[in-house]
A and B are shown apart, each in its own frame.
Chain A
Amino acid sequence: MSEIKPILSALKRSKTGAILLVLQIAITLALVSNAMSIVFDRLDKMTQQTGYDEQSIISYLVVTYDKRIDKAKQFDEDIQKLKELPGVIEALAVSSVPLTRSGGSWMLSTDPDDLKGKSVDSGYLYGNHTLVGALGLKVTEGRDFTENDVVYDRKKEYPTVAIVSRAVANALFGEGKGLNETIYSGNNAAKVIGIIDTIKSQWPKSNIADNLVLLPLQDSTAYQKFVVKTTEHQRAEVMNKIEPLLLELSRGRVVMDVKALDKSKADTYASDRLMIKMLISIVVFLGIITALGIFGLTHFNISKRTKQIGTRRALGARKSTIFKHFLLENMVVTSLGMLIGVIGALLLGRKLMGVYDVPPLENMSILLTAISMIVMSLIAVLVPAQRAANISPSVATRSI
């Protein structure tokens, strides 16, 4: 490593190119590590467990325009016939479909007067006693709904029991508590009979992503949503049969939005995927530019210093000495760029957090970016350094 001192003093004396490269590396590191941090955050959200059996659930919407149809009766028949299809495990009417960014939300409280108690915003979702099983959810604590819990006409009565997500229970009653407590929405009270650890609301990207209340309530409206649980491999087949089957049973209505739950989820995250793709394109672009910069500067340095390299060889430098010289020189420049880049990344991260809704910069993201940039810069310098090492010592005596 005795070569490092003359390399430093040489860099100090012809610094323009090196400074530009240091800046380029620093800017790339700052931008890329912030971009990657956002990408990781989005990916993390997209891949979080939702608790739903996404691969075997279908949702659809029935809009009944013929007023003569007795909807409650017709829906019972629909579901009975649907269940006769091969591959269908469960089917029921629901108030909304999870993960689709549409549905109802309310404010829950520990007291009928929400000013007195603790309160939390949450999505709600209702259906009959098969709701939890049909969605593939698992009650972690307490019990599932039974047939006796189900309310069929909400104008007359309101469900007296509820199953809540762990996040809701924790927010209202404290960490790990909530079972058998009572929750209020205005004057409606319901006892928490079950808690589910892993579940997402209809808005998985929002700040109430983890807040959901399930209620045993079956409705039959003119604009009614349904979910169907099938076996995983027969889902596609069932999906094709739903509309013809229902229309065969009764006209006077429209069946629409027949959709797989994983597809609905993908639609919800479409903008995030686009964002990830764009950020990754920028990252790759910046990476290539920086690599070209390093490659170019080293190439230029070598062309400019051909005679000097020949002279060094004549004075006794081995090929490997020359090779190491350029590697070391590149490492000095890269490290300096890294150092400035890390500071820049942290400052930029803080700035971005203040202006936009982005998560705090992950140290892991800086580290990974720095490591990949070191690897990239090494690769970029290998070829020119090898070329330098192969310069013949006899160029020292050439007069041009």
Chain B
Amino acid sequence: MLHMQNIGKLYQTEMVQTQALREFNLTVEEGEFIAVTGPSGSGKTTFLNIAGLLEPYSSGQYTLDGIDIGKLNDNQRSDLRNQKIGFIFQGFNLIPDLDLFENIEVPLRYRGIKAKERKKRVEQCLEQVGLAGRARHLPQQLSGGQQQRVAIARALAGEPRFLLADEPTGNLDSLMARQVMTLLEELNQSGTTIVMVTHDQELARRTPRNIQIVDGQVADFTLYQGGHAARETVNKTVGA
């Protein structure tokens, strides 16, 4: 469903040029759960931004669900993010002035969904992440783990085909991290495709497929089967 071919990303300032991604190739199939790891500065976030249509790429081709992203304008990209992609951020990125219900509602409002339907979906998602009954709480009244669950609920509310998680457990202690990870695994089992960027090797080992980014390229490709460390390095070029 996600297909990147020879993607390059060049950041240019007056002084320096930085090649954040180069000849980046990746294919993600429907229903996969992938962990993307790599040292800091390797291009993980750039990959995530491009995959999530948060920033444009400089060269190559990217198709998401059969749609050529390069041909979309800003509004179309916004709409596509809204409809197909759910985001989970390291810092949760909840809107502090809105209560949980209103936070989860945000993407649904952007999609123009009617109030009644919004209410139904928000309540359903809150239930799913185990926070039913706390709809009128403000984010700062919750613990970190709870906040991240709200963020997951927000990502799920739009029923996305594709979930992008940026260090989803980076700000959580290990117990909460495990809870969030379990939640993600459940979601994946129910059919959502997930790409998770993390620097936590332990977490990465729990996903069926790992990708390592080094110097803006996919460095190796590792498969874990059934959570066991049956490591298999595959060619750099994947799914081309």
- What residues of chain A have their CB less than 8 Å away from a CB belonging to chain B? 2-3, 6, 9-11, 13-14, 307-308, 311-321, 392-394, 396-397, 399
Whether B87 contacts A314 by the Cβ 8 Å rule is yes
Question: Which of B107-115, B173-181, B208-216 makes up part of the contact surface?
Answer: B107-115
| Chain B stretch 67-100: residues in CB contact (< 8 A) with chain A | 74-75, 78-79, 81-83, 87, 89-91, 93, 95-99
Q: List 25 A-B contacts (CB under 8 A).
A: A6-B102, A6-B106, A10-B95, A10-B98, A13-B138, A14-B97, A311-B89, A314-B93, A315-B82, A315-B106, A315-B107, A315-B110, A316-B111, A319-B78, A320-B75, A392-B55, A393-B54, A394-B54, A396-B93, A397-B45, A397-B49, A397-B54, A397-B89, A397-B166, A399-B91
Whether B99 contacts A318 by the Cβ 8 Å rule is no
Q: How far is the CB of B211 from chain A (nearest CB, A)?
A: 17
Chain B residues within 8 Å of A312, by CB: 95, 106, 110
Whether B91 contacts A394 by the Cβ 8 Å rule is no
- Apart from the given pairs A6-B109, A396-B89, 13 other A-B contacts in the complex at a CB distance below 8 Å: A6-B98, A9-B97, A9-B99, A10-B95, A13-B138, A311-B89, A315-B82, A317-B78, A317-B110, A392-B55, A394-B54, A397-B89, A399-B91
Whether A316 contacts B83 by the Cβ 8 Å rule is yes
Whether A311 contacts B93 by the Cβ 8 Å rule is yes
Q: How far is the CB of B100 from chain A (nearest CB, A)?
A: 12
Q: How far is the CB of A268 from chain B (nearest CB, A)?
A: 59
Chain A residues within 8 Å of B95, by CB: 10, 308, 311-312
| Contact A307/B55 with A13-B138, A314-B87 known, Cβ cut-off 8 Å | no
Q: How far is the CB of B98 from chain A (nearest CB, A)?
A: 6
B52 proximal to A (CB < 8 A):
yes
Q: How far is the CB of B170 from chain A (nearest CB, A)?
A: 8
| Chain A contact residues, majority secondary structure | helix
B121 proximal to A (CB < 8 A):
no
Interface string of B212-232 (1 = CB under 8 A from A): 000000000000000000000
5 A-B pairs with the lowest CB-CB distances in the bound complex, closest first = A316-B82, A10-B97, A394-B54, A316-B110, A311-B93
Chain B residues within 8 Å of A321, by CB: 78, 110
Closest A residue, CB atoms, query B78: A318
CA distance A119 to B85 in the complex (A): 88
Closest B residue, CB atoms, query A309: B95
B105 proximal to A (CB < 8 A):
yes
B206 proximal to A (CB < 8 A):
no
Whether B74 contacts A319 by the Cβ 8 Å rule is yes
Q: How far is the CB of B178 from chain A (nearest CB, A)?
A: 22
Q: How far is the CB of B112 from chain A (nearest CB, A)?
A: 8
Identify which of A6, A11, A319 gathers the most chain B CB atoms within 10 Å of its CB. A6
Q: How far is the CB of A159 from chain B (nearest CB, A)?
A: 82
CA distance A345 to B196 in the complex (A): 59
Chain B residues within 8 Å of A316, by CB: 78-79, 81-83, 107, 110-111, 158
CA distance A138 to B148 in the complex (A): 87
Chain A residues within 8 Å of B154, by CB: 315
| Contact A307/B110 with A314-B81, A317-B78, A394-B54 known, Cβ cut-off 8 Å | no
Q: How far is the CB of B118 from chain A (nearest CB, A)?
A: 9
CA distance A316 to B106 in the complex (A): 9
| Contact A315/B97 with A6-B102, A394-B55 known, Cβ cut-off 8 Å | no
Chain B residues within 8 Å of A396, by CB: 54, 87, 89, 93
Whether A392 contacts B78 by the Cβ 8 Å rule is no
Chain A residues within 8 Å of B45, by CB: 397
Chain B residues within 8 Å of A6, by CB: 98, 102, 105-106, 109
Whether A315 contacts B87 by the Cβ 8 Å rule is yes
CA distance A80 to B90 in the complex (A): 101
CA distance A2 to B97 in the complex (A): 17
Chain B residues within 8 Å of A394, by CB: 49, 54-55
B48 proximal to A (CB < 8 A):
yes
Chain B residues within 8 Å of A313, by CB: 54, 78
Q: How far is the CB of A303 from chain B (nearest CB, A)?
A: 15
Chain B residues within 8 Å of A308, by CB: 93, 95-96
Q: How far is the CB of B13 from chain A (nearest CB, A)?
A: 15
